Amino acid sequence: MPRPAAPSSVESMPESLLRRPATVAERRQDAWLAAGLFVAAMISTALGSVSGVYNGEHPDLSWGLLYSAALTVPLAFRRRYPMTSLIVVSVAFFVGVSSRIPELYVGNVALFVGMYTVGAWVSDRRRAALVRILLIVAMFVWLMISIFQTAASSEDGLSQEGPFSPFAAFAMIQFLVNVAFFGGAYLFGERAYTGATERAALEERTAELERERERTAAQAVALDRVRIARELHDVVAHHVSAMGVQAGAARTVLDRDPDAARTALTGVESSARQALTELRQLLETLRTPETEAPGGSTLRLQALPDLVAHANENGLPTALSVVGDPVPTPELVQVNLYRIAQEALTNARRHGGPGATADVRLRYADDAVELEVSNTGRAPISGRAGLGLVGMRERADSSGGTLEARPRPRGGFLVRVRVPLSQAVPA
């Protein structure tokens, strides 16, 4: 049999991307294919015997039954054991033709299907190519030997009419037919495997994209939860801390100075109202599309004087200084800086102790904005960072800046955040 045409180049696939196993439906189809070809082989054998194939020189039809089974039964397992099926079919075909069994057509079909299956279903491409090439070479050698034996046994051979005698023409026809036969089986198998692996790769990429989408959605939910928790902490902690200080002051002076107690309770009421207002604003902001409210808050840097005034009213003497001319700053950065200042002042009031003071400095530069909040008094007890400090670092990171939070050598605590405007997250 002739050598097949060269297989088309196939893009190398990763080793992990193997041909999927056959499904139950595909195995059922193989069984039906084998049964149909078996019936066809029996009919072809019987008709060939009646028509006088091989001039009536052929074995008994019982051998035709065995030959038909050997040709077709392996095809029922062709997807599970493709190379074994091809080898069994090839041996049966060789024995049957050599034994002059009068079946000339179904055997060719079975051989084509077997070779195609090896190309389409064997994941080890080197072994698949080797098995098919060895079989093609064996069939080619067998065909050439058969042709020359027939020519040698002929009385006229190739000498009567030269190299283009009728027998030579017949040999060339056999050669071309077999080139088309085996070449087609080889190429169709290669294309089937390439198509299957490409589909598998596409399915894997699709599945990976779906998994990535799910991970992204989960991360978005987690980030939203963190953002909401951070905003709630900043709003509640600040105002509740102030209310605690004011309520304690009112309790202390309630008996000896009712007017001072009344003033302190008025402050408690004011802080409660402000807390409810900010919570309402926060909830409205969270219900607003992100494109309309990128910062998740309505508070900006221009509200720092009110924040400082609130700290003064609640027992923490605080000074505010602004250095440099204001530069355009993304809204998200403004919100985060305001919340950092708010949390720093809350911590100063909570941990600073009696007599503590605070200083808020806002510095503008051409390429950055810096906020510094320092306080006197006691520094927070060292240990695991609290939610407030964690929230401040998260806000600094989300703005593209850096945060420094440490005790001061002279006592108190320092919080400094710097946001390069060239790296700031836009509003």
HEC string of 121-181 equals: HCCCHHHHHHHHHHHHHHHHHHHHHHHHHHHHHCCCCCCCCHHHCHHHHHHHHHHHHHHHH
* Residues 73-88 pLDDT 10s: 999 999 989 999 999 9
Predicted local confidence at residue 266, as pLDDT: 79
Assigned domain for 376 exists:
yes
Give yes or no for residue 370 having a pLDDT over 90. yes
What pTM does this model have? 0.52
**What confidence score (pLDDT) does residue 361 get?**
93
Give residue-wise pLDDT tens across range 197-222.
888 888 888 888 888 888 877 777 77
Q: Which of 179, 212, 245 is the last residue of a domain?
A: 212
Task: Give yes or no for residue 309 having a pLDDT over 80.
Answer: yes
* Whether residues 52 and 191 fall in one domain: yes
Q: Considering the domain boundaries, does residue 262 fall inside one?
A: no
The answer on 328 and 196 residing in a single domain is no
Please tell me the predicted confidence (pLDDT) of residue 13: 46
Residue 14 has pLDDT above 70, yes or no: no
Of the given ranges (175-189, 298-312, 397-411), which has the lowest mean pLDDT?
298-312
Q: Are residues 206 and 328 in the same domain?
A: no
Does any domain span residue 130? Answer: yes
Q: Does 326 lie in the same domain as 186? A: no
Q: What is the mean pLDDT of the chain?
A: 79
Mean pLDDT of 15-32: 76
Q: Cβ of 330: how many Cβ atoms within 10 Å?
A: 19
141 has a pLDDT exceeding 60: yes
Residues 189 and 68 in one domain: yes
CA distance 137 to 168: 21
Residue 278 forms part of a structural domain? no
316 vs 286, residue with greater confidence = 316
Q: Is 232 part of a structural domain of the chain?
A: no
420 beta partners: 368
**Residue of 162 and 146 predicted with greater confidence:** 146
Q: Which helix (H) or strand (E) holds 361?
A: strand 358-364
| Domain end call among 154, 178, 212 | 212
Return the minimum-mean-pLDDT range out of 5-9, 37-41, 43-47, 175-179.
5-9
Q: What is the pLDDT of residue 302?
A: 87
pLDDT of amino acid 423: 57
Give the containing element (helix H, strand E) for 360. Answer: strand 358-364
Residue 1 has pLDDT above 50, yes or no: no
Residue 275 maps to a domain: no
Q: Is the pLDDT of residue 278 over 80?
A: no
Residue 427 has pLDDT above 60, yes or no: no
**pLDDT of amino acid 37:** 92
Domain that holds residue 65: 24-212
For the stretch 217-253, pLDDT in tens is: 777 777 767 777 777 776 666 667 777 777 777 788 7
Under 8 Å between Cβ of 84 and 153: no
Q: Do 64 and 203 sit in the same domain of this protein?
A: yes
- Same-domain pairing of 43 and 160: yes
Number of domains in the chain: 2
> What is the amino acid identity at position 328?
P
pLDDT at position 159 is 45
User: Is it the case that residue 284 has pLDDT exceeding 70?
Assistant: no
Lowest mean pLDDT across 86-90, 106-110, 156-160, 307-311 = 156-160
Same domain, 181 and 327: no
In a domain, 118, yes or no: yes
CA end-to-end span of the chain = 74
Q: What are phi and psi of 231, to 5 degrees?
A: -65, -45
**Of 180, 212, 244, which residue is a domain's last?**
212
What is the tens place of the pLDDT at every residue in 43-55?
Answer: 988 888 887 777 6
Residue 341 lies in a domain: yes
Q: Give how far Cα 5 sits from Cα of 176, 183, 389, Å.
A: 11, 5, 72
Which pLDDT does position 46 carry in this prediction?
A: 86
State residue 16's pLDDT score.
Answer: 41
Percent of residues, the chain, with pLDDT higher than 70:
79
CATH code for position 358: 3.30.565.10
Beta partners for 407? 413
Q: Which of 96-110, 142-156, 265-279, 402-416 has the lowest mean pLDDT?
A: 142-156
pLDDT of residue 258: 80
Residue 216, pLDDT score: 79
